[in-house]
Structure 1
């Protein structure tokens, strides 16, 4: 794997973000950890400094807030010390259910984190990386961006955007020594997965964060623009991309459209 001297990881207070931080620290990268929970960030930073002897800085920031997002953008744009690897991991599933019943203000706030923050932070990072002819970006997307499951409209649409953006930017900067990867895992054992499960989503086999992170770093080193960890989810994404939509609905999430329509009708009648 290419050596990244300094990596910035968003959503680093737990789940995939914390696992990325641990794996990168073990490989010798200095870190900038970003999340809202400063206490948990500091705990992780102390652990990594003690275990691996790497420099770890902490930035408490809410990426759905313009001021917090701007602070992280400035750090990514700074040249001293430069960020060699950006892991855009912060995200939220939000409500699962009929689109028409959702609160639009909450949907907008979630999209600012799942979509706008990813776009702006990628933009802040890749220019300097291209000038230095070295760098990498991992945008944590989701298999949901391909599956288009009823009840997951805004989240799935945001992840579809992230996957598409990553592929296009990768094609623009790869010849300048910069690789951009859309990581598209299925269900992963994190707080985000537990949140989705409570809301009624089970996509298949639940993968461990360590497996997903190692797969991501290997895919980035290989220069792939998109990676779906695990054979089960590779097959599901293949079907979602190439099979007729009615067949996909029956095979991958049978009856979910009916259930979602029924929930909408009940809500409207109430």
Structure 2
């Protein structure tokens, strides 16, 4: 990895807790794992008073935000909005996703976080205009849907507001966040990550936090590439972990199955086990006699 310039050192320096923090939702499948370290950095840099996430699913991104709030000792109020039913892009899923995450959430974050099980538009009435400092949009990914989500929540944003858009690099059929990102990133200071389907950062508020504005103002391509590489590298480790865990579980299962087959085979041959035991006993006795000689 290239050496950081003084500007990047200042941007990413200070406490490196975001770099070393072990995420709460390890082992949970998500397309968001690659951005978990950035979420931790952003909470420390932006220190939002109110955070809203539109589209939470299994909670990997939301848990990253909440965990960082606790680690930084902030008084942030966090809100997750989702129907927990899925959609055509994320897939429709059983109520067990909601049940598991709501239990996980209640045990860790209930003191400062609220889950709103409803549609995004239905939650608008729960927030006063000009109060949301950090908005993460990760709902239905068509161009029309993401544009609607951004525009309907825009009045809720504070003068310090930062907006995150996930899937800005995803161009498969039906995904249009990239189109909306091309438009909106020309209107506000912005920074884009390409890994893990892409994450766009917008400094929407005129008084957006200094560190976020500095990130969006990186003018040296080498500095911008270094920042992207750092977060992609750290996030890549967490992105790979669920797959590594899955493969390890398969390996353990196959090893156990093989052991069971061997055990069954030994019992299937009459007299084989007593013969093996007697042979092992004779070998042990020979080893003892040689050691005593």
Q: Same fold (TM over 0.5)?
A: no
TM-score, normalised with respect to structure 1: 0.40
TM-score, normalised with respect to structure 2: 0.37
Bigger Rg, structure 1 or 2: 2
